Chain A
Amino acid sequence: EAQVTQNPRYLITVTGKKLTVTCSQNMNHEYMSWYRQDPGLGLRQIYYSMNVEVTDKGDVPEGYKVSRKEKRNFPLILESPSPNQTSLYFCASSFAGTPYGYTFGSGTRLTVV
Protein backbone atom coordinates (compact mmCIF):
# COMPACT_ATOMS: atom_id res chain seq x y z
CA GLU A 1 0.00 0.00 0.00
CA ALA A 2 1.31 3.44 -0.97
CA GLN A 3 1.82 5.43 2.17
CA VAL A 4 3.79 7.91 4.24
CA THR A 5 4.72 6.49 7.63
CA GLN A 6 5.57 8.68 10.59
CA ASN A 7 6.86 7.58 13.98
CA PRO A 8 6.09 8.00 16.75
CA ARG A 9 2.38 8.87 16.61
CA TYR A 10 2.50 10.45 20.07
CA LEU A 11 5.44 11.84 22.02
CA ILE A 12 5.75 13.69 25.29
CA THR A 13 9.19 15.07 26.06
CA VAL A 14 10.91 17.64 28.24
CA THR A 15 12.39 20.96 27.21
CA GLY A 16 15.86 20.63 25.78
CA LYS A 17 15.90 16.88 25.16
CA LYS A 18 16.80 16.21 21.54
CA LEU A 19 14.31 14.17 19.55
CA THR A 20 13.78 12.89 16.04
CA VAL A 21 10.50 12.21 14.28
CA THR A 22 10.94 9.79 11.41
CA CYS A 23 9.16 9.88 8.07
CA SER A 24 9.32 7.25 5.35
CA GLN A 25 7.50 6.94 2.02
CA ASN A 26 7.28 3.94 -0.33
CA MET A 27 6.16 5.75 -3.49
CA ASN A 28 9.57 6.77 -4.83
CA HIS A 29 8.58 10.43 -4.46
CA GLU A 30 11.28 13.02 -5.02
CA TYR A 31 9.63 15.74 -2.96
CA MET A 32 9.07 15.51 0.81
CA SER A 33 7.98 18.13 3.29
CA TRP A 34 7.17 18.69 6.95
CA TYR A 35 4.19 20.72 8.21
CA ARG A 36 2.98 21.63 11.64
CA GLN A 37 -0.69 22.09 12.45
CA ASP A 38 -1.81 24.42 15.22
CA PRO A 39 -5.34 25.46 16.22
CA GLY A 40 -6.42 28.57 14.38
CA LEU A 41 -3.30 28.59 12.20
CA GLY A 42 -3.87 25.66 9.86
CA LEU A 43 -0.90 23.78 8.43
CA ARG A 44 2.38 25.60 7.93
CA GLN A 45 5.44 24.28 6.14
CA ILE A 46 8.59 23.75 8.22
CA TYR A 47 11.12 22.31 5.75
CA TYR A 48 11.06 20.64 2.38
CA SER A 49 13.32 18.53 0.22
CA MET A 50 13.35 18.34 -3.57
CA ASN A 51 15.53 15.23 -3.63
CA VAL A 52 18.37 13.46 -1.84
CA GLU A 53 20.74 15.93 -0.17
CA VAL A 54 18.58 18.89 -1.28
CA THR A 55 16.67 20.57 1.55
CA ASP A 56 15.43 24.08 2.23
CA LYS A 57 13.47 26.12 4.75
CA GLY A 58 9.72 26.54 4.64
CA ASP A 59 7.73 29.21 6.45
CA VAL A 60 8.49 28.23 10.08
CA PRO A 61 11.92 26.53 10.19
CA GLU A 62 13.25 27.96 13.47
CA GLY A 63 14.15 25.27 15.98
CA TYR A 64 14.06 22.41 13.46
CA LYS A 65 16.53 20.53 11.33
CA VAL A 66 16.04 17.93 8.61
CA SER A 67 18.17 15.60 6.55
CA ARG A 68 17.62 13.67 3.32
CA LYS A 69 20.29 11.02 2.99
CA GLU A 70 18.00 8.55 1.25
CA LYS A 71 15.08 9.16 -1.08
CA ARG A 72 12.51 7.40 1.09
CA ASN A 73 13.38 8.99 4.46
CA PHE A 74 13.06 12.56 5.71
CA PRO A 75 13.51 12.82 9.50
CA LEU A 76 12.60 15.95 11.45
CA ILE A 77 15.06 16.80 14.22
CA LEU A 78 14.42 19.02 17.21
CA GLU A 79 17.83 19.66 18.77
CA SER A 80 16.49 21.47 21.84
CA PRO A 81 12.69 21.30 21.94
CA SER A 82 10.74 24.08 23.60
CA PRO A 83 7.08 24.24 24.69
CA ASN A 84 6.17 26.39 21.66
CA GLN A 85 7.00 23.39 19.49
CA THR A 86 4.10 21.48 21.00
CA SER A 87 2.05 20.75 17.91
CA LEU A 88 0.72 18.17 15.48
CA TYR A 89 3.31 17.38 12.81
CA PHE A 90 2.70 15.97 9.35
CA CYS A 91 5.11 14.64 6.80
CA ALA A 92 4.07 14.71 3.14
CA SER A 93 5.54 13.52 -0.13
CA SER A 94 4.81 13.85 -3.84
CA PHE A 95 6.31 13.49 -7.26
CA ALA A 96 8.11 16.71 -8.08
CA GLY A 97 5.98 19.04 -10.17
CA THR A 98 2.56 17.65 -9.38
CA PRO A 99 0.38 18.15 -6.32
CA TYR A 100 -1.96 15.31 -7.18
CA GLY A 101 0.07 12.63 -5.49
CA TYR A 102 0.70 14.83 -2.45
CA THR A 103 0.27 12.29 0.35
CA PHE A 104 0.29 13.01 4.06
CA GLY A 105 1.30 10.77 6.93
CA SER A 106 -1.04 10.19 9.87
CA GLY A 107 0.68 12.74 12.06
CA THR A 108 2.83 12.95 15.18
CA ARG A 109 1.40 14.70 18.19
CA LEU A 110 4.28 16.21 20.13
CA THR A 111 4.01 17.71 23.60
CA VAL A 112 7.01 19.51 25.09
CA VAL A 113 6.76 20.18 28.82
Chain B
Amino acid sequence: GQQLNQSPQSMFIQEGEDVSMNCTSSSIFNTWLWYKQEPGEGPVLLIALYKAGELTSNGRLTAQFGITRKDSFLNISASIPSDVGIYFCAGQLGGGSNYKLTFGKGTLLTVNP
Protein backbone atom coordinates (compact mmCIF):
# COMPACT_ATOMS: atom_id res chain seq x y z
CA GLY B 1 0.00 0.00 0.00
CA GLN B 2 0.91 3.65 -0.04
CA GLN B 3 3.44 4.80 2.52
CA LEU B 4 4.33 8.21 3.86
CA ASN B 5 7.80 9.02 5.14
CA GLN B 6 7.61 11.76 7.73
CA SER B 7 10.65 13.51 9.15
CA PRO B 8 12.03 14.26 11.56
CA GLN B 9 10.76 11.66 14.02
CA SER B 10 11.21 14.04 16.92
CA MET B 11 12.31 17.60 17.61
CA PHE B 12 13.35 19.34 20.80
CA ILE B 13 13.41 23.11 20.42
CA GLN B 14 13.45 26.31 22.43
CA GLU B 15 10.39 28.49 22.71
CA GLY B 16 10.38 31.10 19.96
CA GLU B 17 12.19 28.96 17.39
CA ASP B 18 10.70 28.04 14.04
CA VAL B 19 9.94 24.40 13.21
CA SER B 20 9.81 22.59 9.91
CA MET B 21 8.70 19.03 9.19
CA ASN B 22 7.89 17.23 5.97
CA CYS B 23 6.34 14.19 4.39
CA THR B 24 7.15 12.36 1.20
CA SER B 25 5.24 9.65 -0.55
CA SER B 26 6.03 6.98 -3.09
CA SER B 27 2.79 7.78 -4.90
CA ILE B 28 0.58 10.80 -5.45
CA PHE B 29 -2.21 12.09 -3.27
CA ASN B 30 -5.00 14.47 -4.17
CA THR B 31 -5.26 15.95 -0.69
CA TRP B 32 -2.67 16.50 2.01
CA LEU B 33 -3.59 17.12 5.62
CA TRP B 34 -1.70 17.98 8.77
CA TYR B 35 -2.97 16.88 12.19
CA LYS B 36 -1.86 17.47 15.73
CA GLN B 37 -2.39 14.91 18.48
CA GLU B 38 -2.12 15.75 22.16
CA PRO B 39 -1.84 13.13 24.91
CA GLY B 40 -5.10 11.27 25.47
CA GLU B 41 -6.82 12.80 22.47
CA GLY B 42 -7.51 12.00 18.86
CA PRO B 43 -5.81 13.83 15.99
CA VAL B 44 -7.14 17.31 15.30
CA LEU B 45 -6.98 18.80 11.82
CA LEU B 46 -4.66 21.79 11.46
CA ILE B 47 -4.47 22.42 7.73
CA ALA B 48 -5.92 20.81 4.61
CA LEU B 49 -4.36 21.23 1.15
CA TYR B 50 -6.33 20.44 -1.98
CA LYS B 51 -4.21 21.55 -4.93
CA ALA B 52 -0.66 20.88 -6.06
CA GLY B 53 1.48 23.90 -5.26
CA GLU B 54 -1.02 25.28 -2.75
CA LEU B 55 0.43 27.20 0.19
CA THR B 56 -1.93 27.67 3.13
CA SER B 57 -1.57 29.34 6.51
CA ASN B 58 -3.43 28.94 9.76
CA GLY B 59 -2.08 31.43 12.29
CA ARG B 60 1.55 30.54 12.94
CA LEU B 61 1.28 27.39 10.82
CA THR B 62 2.06 27.25 7.12
CA ALA B 63 1.81 24.16 4.94
CA GLN B 64 2.43 23.48 1.27
CA PHE B 65 1.20 20.81 -1.14
CA GLY B 66 4.17 19.77 -3.25
CA ILE B 67 4.01 20.37 -6.97
CA THR B 68 4.61 16.68 -7.70
CA ARG B 69 1.72 15.77 -5.34
CA LYS B 70 4.10 13.41 -3.55
CA ASP B 71 5.18 15.66 -0.70
CA SER B 72 4.14 18.31 1.77
CA PHE B 73 5.73 20.36 4.51
CA LEU B 74 4.51 22.08 7.66
CA ASN B 75 6.20 25.07 9.25
CA ILE B 76 5.44 26.45 12.70
CA SER B 77 6.79 29.91 13.40
CA ALA B 78 7.71 31.32 16.81
CA SER B 79 6.91 28.13 18.70
CA ILE B 80 5.22 28.27 22.10
CA PRO B 81 4.92 25.59 24.82
CA SER B 82 1.37 24.64 23.80
CA ASP B 83 2.70 23.54 20.39
CA VAL B 84 3.92 20.38 22.12
CA GLY B 85 2.41 17.23 20.64
CA ILE B 86 2.69 14.75 17.82
CA TYR B 87 2.19 16.12 14.33
CA PHE B 88 0.99 13.80 11.59
CA CYS B 89 0.82 14.29 7.89
CA ALA B 90 -1.88 12.39 6.03
CA GLY B 91 -2.65 11.91 2.40
CA GLN B 92 -5.94 11.13 0.80
CA LEU B 93 -6.29 9.83 -2.72
CA GLY B 94 -10.04 10.35 -2.68
CA GLY B 95 -12.63 9.18 -5.13
CA GLY B 96 -13.66 5.59 -5.45
CA SER B 97 -15.21 3.96 -2.44
CA ASN B 98 -12.80 4.78 0.37
CA TYR B 99 -11.83 8.15 1.76
CA LYS B 100 -9.05 6.54 3.74
CA LEU B 101 -6.31 8.71 5.13
CA THR B 102 -2.78 7.32 4.88
CA PHE B 103 -0.76 8.64 7.80
CA GLY B 104 2.90 9.34 8.35
CA LYS B 105 4.43 7.98 11.54
CA GLY B 106 4.42 11.37 13.22
CA THR B 107 6.85 14.02 14.49
CA LEU B 108 7.05 14.42 18.25
CA LEU B 109 7.58 18.08 19.07
CA THR B 110 8.87 19.21 22.44
CA VAL B 111 9.16 22.93 23.20
CA ASN B 112 11.41 24.04 26.03
CA PRO B 113 10.07 27.23 27.67
Chain A interfacial positions (CB closer than 8 Å to B): 4, 31, 33, 35, 40-45, 48, 50, 56, 58-59, 90, 92, 94, 96-97, 99-100, 102-107
Q: Contacts A42-B105, A43-B103 known; A56 to B40 CB distance under 8 Å?
A: no
Chain A residues with Cβ below 8 Å from B105 are 40-42
Beyond contacts A4-B42, A44-B103, A105-B42: 8 other A-B pairs, Cβ-Cβ < 8 A, are A42-B88, A48-B99, A59-B100, A90-B43, A99-B33, A99-B48, A104-B42, A104-B44
Q: Contacts A48-B98, A97-B99 known; A102 to B40 CB distance under 8 Å?
A: no
Inter-subunit contact B99/A94 (CB<8 Å): yes
A90 to B97, CA, bound (A): 20
Total cross-chain contacts (CB, 8 A): 63
Inter-subunit contact B40/A107 (CB<8 Å): yes
A33 to B92, CA, bound (A): 14
Chain B interfacial positions (CB closer than 8 Å to A): 1, 4, 31, 33, 40-45, 48, 88, 92, 94, 97-101, 103-106
Chain B residues with Cβ below 8 Å from A48 are 98-100
Chain A residues with Cβ below 8 Å from B1 are 59
Q: Which residue of the partner chain A has the closest CB to B1?
A: A59
List, sorted by A's number, 10 A–B pairs whose CB atoms are closer than 8 Å.
Answer: A4-B42, A33-B100, A44-B103, A45-B100, A56-B97, A58-B100, A92-B42, A99-B94, A102-B33, A107-B41
